[in-house]
Chains A and B, each alone.
Chain A
Amino acid sequence: MSATTALRSGSARRALPGLGLSLGVTLSWLGLIVLIPLAALVIKPWSLGLAGVTAVLMDDRVQAAFRLSFGAALLAAIISLPLGLLFAWVITRYRFPGRRLLDALVDLPFALPTAVAGLALTALFANNGWLGGPLAEAFGWQIAYRPVGVLIALIFVALPFMIRSVEPVLRDLTLEGEEAAATLGATRAQTLRRVVLPALAPALITGFGLGFGRAVGEYGSVIFIAGNMPMSTEIAPLLIVVKLEQYDDAGAAAVGLAMLVLAFVILLALNVLQRRLRRGRA
């Protein structure tokens, strides 16, 4: 409401014309592609009634799938945090042969069909695979078809988001700040902790949020490596597919809606955290 009034009173005086048109186009597209499908998702489950939706969501198997999906996605985002920072650091701060190639490789998971990634990871980590075989022999570890397999697939999809969020900020961060800190007698650890990391924090949180969001909904690559056992390695998106195959649309929508709400709350919390950090710095 207030946005429209601001728009109306401001449009005549604004230096940059076209706000009305561009905002209108943006909102129509957003409505068509994001809001209407989401609205359908919000409406659909209630054909079961409140008790029905609660029964679907309180089911042990659904709960187990949620724990796995959200737990593994959070863990994947947490692991991607230092890993992505390190990777971004390497490709922005150092010059070495093959750097550009490495830089391009980071984007590959964005473009690779997730099913291909899933098949490749499974072939690699199954206990007759290149990596899975030696690991199983040396330590008795099994990776594919276990929750840790799910985690590996999720790190694979989350990591590029982390790297691509941090990298531009790191690139713009001039060396002068670090040099000033050094001349003022800061140790290297202090410089990293008090100068570099605070500047990167908002970007790290953005990367964390994007990586987490992507990982929580990931389906294609996970189902190959997960083993899909109810109560242990079954992810929530698979449960949605299972329910759809049983022609249980409302149940599937209930699980989808719960995922949406949970993910939204987590992303909102990250956003608030990011804003606090920004304000703290200013």
Chain B
Amino acid sequence: MTRHPLARRGFLAAASTLAAAPAFGQSAPTLLNVSYDPTREFYRAFNTAFTAHWTGGGQPRPTISTSHGGSGRQARSVIDGLAADVVTLALAYDVDAIAERGYIAPDWQRRLPENSCPYTSTIVLLVRRGNPKAVRDWGDLLKPGVSIITPNPKTSGGARWNYLAFWAWALHEPGGTSATAEQAVTQLFRQVPVLDAGARGSLTTFAQRNQGDVFLSWENEAHLALQEFPQAGLEIIYPSLSILAEPPVAVVDRNVERRGTKALAEAYLQHLYSPEGQQLAARHHYRPRDRAVLAEAGARFPAMELVTIQDAFGGWAEAQRTHFSDGGVFDRIYRPGR
């Protein structure tokens, strides 16, 4: 597991607070944020900022820990009893899965502005130095000899966004139907030589093992890759159309009620929408919702045509059922004899 060491300590601290809850509940507040893989750097900075903001209001200093991993696996940990106060995951489907089991109120997505998604991201293409395969848009991925790296949509939230972004583009092409899109996506995955389980593993395969010509990536991960592997000379290509990835956040009602951390957890998530939270998100290459902050960031977020999962796919539950469930479109790609 790639869990942050602090998270484990936080979990222990949370557990011991829990044991002593009635007597010492308010003396040493702790908060556990269960998040997905690429948010590590962002929440490290945000936790520091929020702690300053919260103690500035005269509140006792909270201990905030963050746990990172694949979005689906993180959701499963919460369902299995990890005492998360808030979840900040890659897709609404995973938060829905937690809500279905009664940990979060069913109307969670209406409780915070912007569908409970304080920042957004999108899917971009990462290519090697000088773009040797001349990849300008999604269509270029289907050219013979282009090899593509993406994680497995069955195990990676980010990979599902990759897949759906490509599908949305294929549908948007002249004469595009779900049949032509399925054909295109089948062709795309024929050109994928390795399916890692998560986004970070895929990035290693692409950048360090030198596999593939194009890496399908979260926009913020792409920027991180440029910083991480400066000698590789990777370049970001913004396709003509992509998907608006909306990573949602939610307070885990059952846990905060039991632990008495409701006010802290709510303030934590609300601070994500504040100018400070939005600026931090932008600095870590998440697209801020706040128009002023977005304008300030300027050319760092090139304007693109972005479709939403609601408009293009009828929401996550629908997209999951059609594309990623067992027997769905993605499974058909790997059926033999096609």
Contact = CB atoms under 8 A, between A and B. Distances in A.
B99 to A, nearest CB: 13
B334 A144 contact: no
B72 A228 contact: no
- The residue among A229, A230, A244, A245 with the most chain B CB atoms within 10 A of its own CB is A245
Contacts of B76: 244-245, 247
Contact of A228 (B197, B324, B331): B197
A248 interface: yes
A127 interface: yes
A242 B152 contact: yes
- The residue among A144, A238, A246 with the most chain B CB atoms within 10 A of its own CB is A246
B334 A61 contact: yes
Interface in A99-153: 122-123, 126-129, 144-145
B116 to A, nearest CB: 21
A246 B324 contact: yes
Nearest to A227: B194
Nearest to B151: A228
A129 B72 CA distance: 32
B213 interface: no
B270 interface: no
A144 B209 contact: yes
A122 B335 CA distance: 27
B325 interface: yes
B194 A229 contact: yes
> Which interface class (under 10, 10 to 19, 20 to 34, 35 or more) fits B?
20 to 34
A246 B154 contact: yes
Given A126-B209, A242-B154, 17 more contacts: A129-B209, A145-B193, A145-B194, A145-B211, A224-B201, A228-B195, A229-B195, A229-B334, A231-B334, A238-B197, A242-B155, A245-B70, A245-B73, A245-B76, A246-B154, A246-B324, A247-B97
Given A228-B152, A228-B197, A231-B336, A246 B209 contact: no
- The residue among A122, A231, A238, A247 with the most chain B CB atoms within 10 A of its own CB is A247
Given A61-B331, A246-B325, A123 B72 contact: no
Given A60-B336, A228-B196, A245-B73, A122 B154 contact: no
B210 interface: yes
Interface string B205-216: 000111100000
Contacts of A123: 208-209
B194 A228 contact: yes
Interface in A202-252: 223-224, 227-231, 238, 241-248, 251
Nearest to B73: A245
Contacts of A243: 326
A50 B70 CA distance: 32
Contact of A223 (B197, B325, B331, B335): B197
Interface string B182-199: 000000000011111100
Contacts of A126: 209-211
Nearest to A144: B209
A60 B334 CA distance: 9
A248 B326 contact: yes
A60 B335 contact: yes
- The residue among B97, B196, B210, B326 with the most chain A CB atoms within 10 A of its own CB is B326
Contacts of A129: 209
Contacts of A242: 152, 154-155
B326 A251 contact: yes
A229 B149 CA distance: 12
A242 B210 CA distance: 26
A77 B152 CA distance: 29
B216 to A, nearest CB: 16
Contacts of A127: 210
A257 B25 CA distance: 44
A59 B328 CA distance: 13
Contacts of B152: 228, 242
A128 B192 CA distance: 18
A258 to B, nearest CB: 16
A207 to B, nearest CB: 31
A201 B194 CA distance: 40
Nearest to A142: B193
28 contacts: A59-B326, A61-B331, A123-B209, A128-B209, A128-B210, A129-B209, A144-B209, A145-B194, A223-B196, A223-B197, A227-B195, A228-B194, A228-B196, A228-B197, A229-B334, A230-B334, A231-B336, A241-B155, A243-B326, A245-B72, A245-B76, A245-B155, A246-B72, A246-B324, A246-B325, A246-B326, A247-B76, A247-B97
A219 to B, nearest CB: 10
A61 B334 CA distance: 8
Contacts of B73: 245
A141 B197 CA distance: 25
Nearest to A62: B326
Contacts of A227: 193-195
A53 to B, nearest CB: 13
Contacts of B336: 60, 231
A224 B204 CA distance: 10
